[in-house]
Amino acid sequence: MDLFEKCYRFTRAKEAMAAGIYPYFRAIESGADTQVVIDGRQVIMIGSNNYLGLTQDPRVKKAAQEAIERFGSGCTGSRFLNGTLALHEELEERLAAFMKREAALVFSTGFQTNLGTIATIVGKDDLIFADRDNHASIVDGCRLAFGKTVKYRHNDMSDLERVLKMYADDDGGKLIVTDGVFSMGGDIVDLPRLVTIAKKYGARIMIDDAHSIGVLGQHGRGTAEHFGLEDQVDIVMGTFSKSFASIGGFIAGDEPVIHYIKHHSRSLIFSASPPPAAVATVLACLDIIEKEPERRERLWEITNKMRRGFRELGFNTGNSQTPIIPIIIGEDEKTFAFWKALFENGVYANPVISPAVPPGMSLIRTSYMATHKDEELDRVLEVFEKVGRQFGVI
């Protein structure tokens, strides 16, 4: 068979385009804010991971501008060679202190962080125990690792113990890796039970806190702080494209572990380092996260308002516990049509279909910012009620 045959046979996206319900790769013509312009139309944005609403903060933008003036537009090399700036080291020190860890290491993207960390620390005789709903970057990190990956049912600690018990006599190292907040369902990992089981079977724990840092915990340190279990989690991963309003990622943990990853991770060593403006943006956001807890408090006010509003209207929001609130529609085509109707009524959210979610569980993923105004949120609920009734979802 010709190598490109599968490309010519892939027609699903073009069929959706022809039907006028294709929702992806929509160009935004304005800055990331609570309202954006798409196709010349202003819409309320509830599809962003900009949880603290910092992308438009004047202090953040000023920090990025000043970094460009001082360091230029890029680093022209990898962290390993000529691409490490004093700015990168300052950020790593600040992140380690913020996360209450011995050390931290900054990568160019969150995806590369998971890829590089998992593939580096898991050797050929080791075992990975992974939640079935983990982010794609964890899945690919597991694929790259030479060790064996064993999956357990989503957030099912009894199933995790079942598979750990199967390999209890294995001599290799064991790593449990899971999202802290799951990016589609918005639910939180059952960390207390996971920690108990990990101790019982001698497994290390890695938490992907991409959607947790800045959101969960009294100080915004993520899932482990939320449960009061920071000293029980071995490695914490975070990204900069959510609460930190930038791009990149980091890993934090014991200094020897971070030092090892720093000198062995291919996705770090062979990637160009994060540009100065991106790093300075994170530093400015970190200042705000530490000094303005009221942003996080406002985010939770909004989250509770919207979850309550959707449920009172009769929508199925699954097991959401966070600012990620899914609206479960069911069929793929119906989800696309629902998305289009929302957009036509001035609301932008994200349609999610299989294989990102199980078949028959397609959904509209909504997520919220601390900077959303009450009148914007009320309008969102009005539109969802109108469209929900139109499609017989409520």
What is the distance between the alpha carbons of residues 135 and 324, in angstroms, rounded to a whole number?
14
Q: Lay out the sheet containing 347-348: strands in order across.
A: 35-38, 41-45, 347-348
Can you list the alpha helix ranges (DSSP code H) found in 72-131? 86-99, 110-121
Q: Which residues contact 234 (CB under 8 A, 6 or more apart)?
A: 204, 205, 206, 253, 254, 257
Tally of CA atoms within 13 A in the half-sphere of 339 that contains its CB: 30
What is the distance between the alpha carbons of residues 204 and 298, in angstroms, rounded to a whole number?
34
Catalytic (active-site) positions: 183, 211, 242
β-pair partners for 325 = 366
What is the distance between the alpha carbons of residues 188 and 154, in angstroms, rounded to a whole number?
11
At 216, phi and psi to the nearest 5? -95, 150
Q: Which residues contact 28 (CB under 8 A, 6 or more apart)?
A: 36, 37, 38
